[in-house]
Each structure stands twice: as structure tokens, then as C-alpha cells.
Amino acid sequence: MAGPAALTIHEAAAELAAKKISSVELTQAVFARIKAVEPRVHAYLHLTEETALAEAQASDRRRAADAPLGPLDGVPIAIKDNMCVRGVPATCASRILAGFVPPYDATVITRLRAAGAVLTGKTNLDEFAFGSSTENSAFGPTRNPWDLDRVPGGSSGGSAAAVAADEAIAALGSDTGGSIRQPAALCGLAGLKPTYGRVSRYGLIAFASSLDQIGPLTKDVEDCAILQEAIEGWDAADSTSVRLDGPPPTRAIQGDVQGLTLGIAKEWLTEGLDPEVRAAFDGARAALEKLGVKFREISLPLQDYALPVYYLVAPAEASSNLARFDGVRYGLREDGANIIEMYKKTRSAGFGPEPKRRIILGTYVLSAGYYDAYYLKALKARTRLREDYLNALKDCDALLSPATPTPAFRIGEKTDDPLQMYLSDIYTVSVNLVGLPGLVIPCGFSKANLPIGMQFIGRAFDDGGLLRLAARFQDATDWHRRRPSLG
């Protein structure tokens, strides 16, 4: 049994406030749970139990002095291992970062500390967040708590599995093409990819800078709002971060959804969609209609280009962002007879197959003679795709799509076929390309008892509107209360 580790953030906050439990007890419960299930799940790459307990003690002292910092004070949170935490190794699940210990905190970490959160450790991911199953980790795959033979999704699979398995109360993930939302769907969680610019990227080891956003992975939507509120906001260290002027998420989440219009693109409900996912999606639609939500069919003619555009833009930026891993100052170094040989040997030994594939692809599309045909064309298509979405969102308050084409697939099922793997992000990549917010929550289960997710897509900076829709849905349904039976 998971005990207090099974609590949500808002439940834990209530118990902490009522002094029914201390942060140290809660943290100990989480680490006991980690010890019990981690050998089967492998959600973490690095645990920080000692500092976590010290943080929990500090939280308890604040509470004893009647000066708690807010709903996250004393709550154990897991961090995806592509964010920098001062003094804690950051690996991006890659051998090339061996031994690298960041001397600074990412802005989201600074903000979590300011909110009093307890950091449990760093979670597994696909190497440099390149993947949809967490199988591309150099340190072995993470398993889906709902079925240990299946993937938790990726690339934030470690964070999703940790939350689903009660190895953390909540977690931070990062999302470049679906890396928060697809694992949320596959693990039965709420996962928000905020509007681009809402959360500072400072300290997030970049995959594709124009697409990356950090966001929450939580047990329900209310938690999602609490965690998002703690990490978001303008940051002087990130020029692409934005000053927010709307209501904060925990306020925006309140209120009615009666009379809102949701758009569903006809291009989304095609033959590639698993019948069980389709059935769950239709059921969720009916539940939302009961809440007074109206639906409208829309068209996103460029939808089919989203994945190809993504696989030009994202690798191009990745090839540039990963250039710094060269063995000169930190991480792995394989010595060579000269500097060029050192570079080659280090990068050959340090990167796994997927980073190599994307570096080669990205380098190619940025090369002289190919730039116009590939990268520039992709940028133009990206602009057109954004226009399509903005047009659709003129007539609709938000859009509703499936989160993934299928529930969680088996470990090893798609590892030999990168294209098949890429297709599992078909519903999520365009949201990053257009910079809008996307929120995934569970909307049903397959016959094999695997979670199925759906995705709300909103107007720029209307992340709160999506949280409100999802919260009213969760008020009326129980999908989010189901838990895997890991024992």
C-alpha cells in the first residue's frame, strides 16, 4: 500500500495544514514507496533522499512557526533529469553527460524551492528527451505502473511513472512534441504543456528551444493548477518568457463551462485511431455535453504536415543545442590524437542511436544547399499551421483531440521502427509547433485496463481555461481516481 504517498498535492496540503501528517512523514512515506516499487518501475535516475528530508524538516519548522509557504510547502516533487538542480548530477539519460553536476538551479527549481517543495530526485527520460517511450534512456527503460511490460510513454516517462506509482506526489516534465502529454495519457495522469513562454526554460537542458516547455505531471487537474502556478511567470534569464497578466491557474480553474464551444478537427478521427481510444473519446465528449459544452467540427488541413515539419524543425535545433557536448570541459571525454579525433570519439561513445539520428538529420537540414528546401520550408509550413489553429480558435473556445492514437504499447514493440514511434506523437506535436497550451487528462480505460487520455488545446495563454474545462470534467467523472495495482 502506498499510504500517504498516494495523496494528491491538494490532499497532502490539507493534511499538512491540519497537522495530521508532517512533511518528514510524507517524505519518508514517499521514499518507502520508492524502495518498494522502484526495482520494478525504474522511474528515477538519481534520488536525493538526504536533502529531501532536510527540506522536509525545514518545511515542518515553517509550519510549526505558522509560516507555511503555500500548498506545495513540504510536498515531495520529482524532477525530470533534463533540468538543472544545483549540486545534483544532470544526465539527460545520456552517457555524454557522465559526471556533470550543474553549479546552478533552473528557474523552475528556484521557484519550487521558494514554494517550499521537497525534491525527491531526478527521473528517467528518453536520452535528451528524444523519444516517446523512455526506452531511449542510456540507463534502461522505465516501466508503466499500469502494466510493467508496457512503456510509460516519453520522453517524461520517468516523471509520469513516478507519479502514477506514487513515488512522488507530483512531478515536472518537459514537452517538446508531447513529452509531458503522451506519458500523462499512457499513465492516466494530468499533464500540461503550457503556452510557449509561460514557464522559464532557464536551466532546462535544451532539446528544441523554440518548442520546449516545462510543465506539471500530476494525479489530477487541481494539482496541475497548483504546480503550474508555482513554476510559471516571467524570468529575466529567459528572453522568450512572457509577463503574465491573466488570472493565476488556481483561480482560472474555478467556474462554469456551460456554453463553451469545443472544436474537433475531422482530420483527428481517422482510421489510424485505435477503436478503444475512439470509444473513450466519444464517451468523454458525451460527458462534456452534459456539462453544457457545445461541439463543432472544424478542419485543420495542414495537420498531416505537422509531424514532418516537427521532424525538420526539432532536429535542426537539437543538432545545434547538442553541439556543446564535446568533451572539452565537462561530461564524457574520450581522448584522441588531436582535437578533432577527441570530438569524434567522445560524441561517438557518448550519444545513443536516437541522438545520433537526430543530430545527423538536423545537421543535414541546416546545411548549405538544403536549408531552403527543408528548414526554411518547414518554418513557412509552421507559420501556416499556426494560422490554421488560430483561425479554428476564433470560433471555438478550445479544441478537443485524442491524446495518443493507442494506449501504452509494449516495451520493444516500436524500438526498431523510429517512424512508428514518431507517430505516437501525432496529436501532440502540432501544439508545440504553434506554441499553444495543451492539457491531457484521462478519459477512459481500455479492456486491458490501460489509461486512455484526451487533450484540450487552447488559445495562447488560456492555460487556465483548459484547466477549468478539465476540472469540471473531473468533477463529473472518476477516471482520474483510478490507480494502478502495483501492490
DSSP string of 384-418, one letter each residue: HHHHHHHHHHHH-SEEEEES-SSSPPBTTSSTT-H
Interface pattern 13-42 for other proteins (x via CB under 8 A): ------------------------------
DSSP string of 246-305, one letter each residue: S--HHHHT-S--TT-EEEEEGGGSSTTS-HHHHHHHHHHHHHHHHTT-EEEEE--TTHHH
Q: Does 206 help bind other proteins (rule: CB under 8 A)?
A: yes
Q: Does 433 help bind other proteins (rule: CB under 8 A)?
A: no
Q: Does 317 help bind other proteins (rule: CB under 8 A)?
A: yes
Locate cell 528556484: which residue? 110
**Which is nearer to other proteins, 214 or 257 (by Cβ)?**
214
Q: Is 349 exposed, middle or buried (0-12, 13-18, 19+ CB in 10 A)?
A: middle
Q: Is 213 exposed, middle or buried (0-12, 13-18, 19+ CB in 10 A)?
A: buried
Q: Does 316 help bind other proteins (rule: CB under 8 A)?
A: yes
Q: Does 360 help bind other proteins (rule: CB under 8 A)?
A: no
User: Which range binds other proteins by CB under 8 A, 148-156, 246-254, 283-291, 321-329?
Assistant: 321-329
Q: Does 186 help bind other proteins (rule: CB under 8 A)?
A: no
Q: Which of residues 64-83 bind other proteins (CB under 8 A)?
A: 83
Q: Does 335 help bind other proteins (rule: CB under 8 A)?
A: no
Q: Does 103 help bind other proteins (rule: CB under 8 A)?
A: yes
Q: How far is CA 368 from CA 312, 344, 364, 371, 373, in A?
A: 15, 22, 9, 6, 10
The C-alpha cell at 434 is 504553434
Least Å distance, CB 97 to other proteins, is 7
Interface pattern 264-303 for other proteins (x via CB under 8 A): ----------------------------------------
For residues 452-471, one letter each, b for 16 or more C-beta atoms within 10 angstroms of the residue's C-beta and e for the rest, the string is bbbbbbbbbbbbbbbbbbbb
User: What Rg value do the Cα atoms of the chain yield, rounded?
Assistant: 21
Q: Does 477 help bind other proteins (rule: CB under 8 A)?
A: no
**Which is nearer to other proteins, 295 or 330 (by Cβ)?**
330
Beta strands in 137-251 (DSSP E): 170-175, 190-193, 213-218
**CA atoms of 382 and 363, how far apart (whole Å):** 19
Q: At what angle do helices 49-64 and 23-41 cross, to 10 degrees?
A: 160
Q: Does 329 help bind other proteins (rule: CB under 8 A)?
A: yes
Q: Does 113 help bind other proteins (rule: CB under 8 A)?
A: no
Q: Which of 326, 388, 425, 463 binds other proteins (CB under 8 A)?
A: 326
Locate cell 527549481: which residue? 109
Q: Does 340 help bind other proteins (rule: CB under 8 A)?
A: yes
Q: Does 161 help bind other proteins (rule: CB under 8 A)?
A: no
Q: Which of 18, 50, 66, 239 binds other proteins (CB under 8 A)?
A: 239
Q: Which of 328, 360, 390, 448 binds other proteins (CB under 8 A)?
A: 328
Q: Does 460 help bind other proteins (rule: CB under 8 A)?
A: no
The C-alpha cell at 440 is 491531457
Q: Residues binding other proteins: what is the number (CB under 8 A)? A: 45
> Which residue type occupies 426?
I
Angle at the Cα of 108 (from 110 to 72), degrees rounded to 5? 80
Q: Which of residues 81-100 bind other proteins (CB under 8 A)?
A: 83-84, 90, 92, 97, 100
User: Which range binds other proteins by CB under 8 A, 3-11, 208-216, 261-269, 391-399?
Assistant: 208-216
Nearest of 440, 439, 441, 437 to residue 462 by alpha carbon: 437
Q: Which of 11, 15, 49, 238 binds other proteins (CB under 8 A)?
A: 238
Least Å distance, CB 211 to other proteins, is 9
**Which is nearer to other proteins, 278 or 345 (by Cβ)?**
345
The C-alpha cell at 405 is 492514437
Q: Which of 44, 146, 343, 427 binds other proteins (CB under 8 A)?
A: 343
Q: Does 375 help bind other proteins (rule: CB under 8 A)?
A: yes
Total count of residues recorded for the chain: 487
DSSP designation for 128: G
Q: Does 371 help bind other proteins (rule: CB under 8 A)?
A: yes
Q: Does 315 help bind other proteins (rule: CB under 8 A)?
A: no
Q: Does 104 help bind other proteins (rule: CB under 8 A)?
A: yes
Q: Which of 204, 225, 288, 392 binds other proteins (CB under 8 A)?
A: 204
Q: Are 318 and 362 in contact (CB under 8 A)?
A: yes
**CA atoms of 457 and 465, how far apart (whole Å):** 10
Q: Which of 17, 64, 339, 448 binds other proteins (CB under 8 A)?
A: 339
**CA atoms of 326 and 344, how far apart (whole Å):** 8
**CA atoms of 23 and 61, how far apart (whole Å):** 10
- Active-site positions? 80, 155, 179
Q: Does 168 help bind other proteins (rule: CB under 8 A)?
A: no
For residues 143-158, one letter each, b for 16 or more C-beta atoms within 10 angstroms of the residue's C-beta and e for the rest, the string is bbbbbbebbbbbbbbb
Residues that bind other proteins (CB under 8 A): 83-84, 90, 92, 97, 100, 102-104, 106, 201-206, 208-210, 236-240, 316-317, 319-320, 323-326, 328-330, 338-340, 343, 363, 366-368, 371, 375
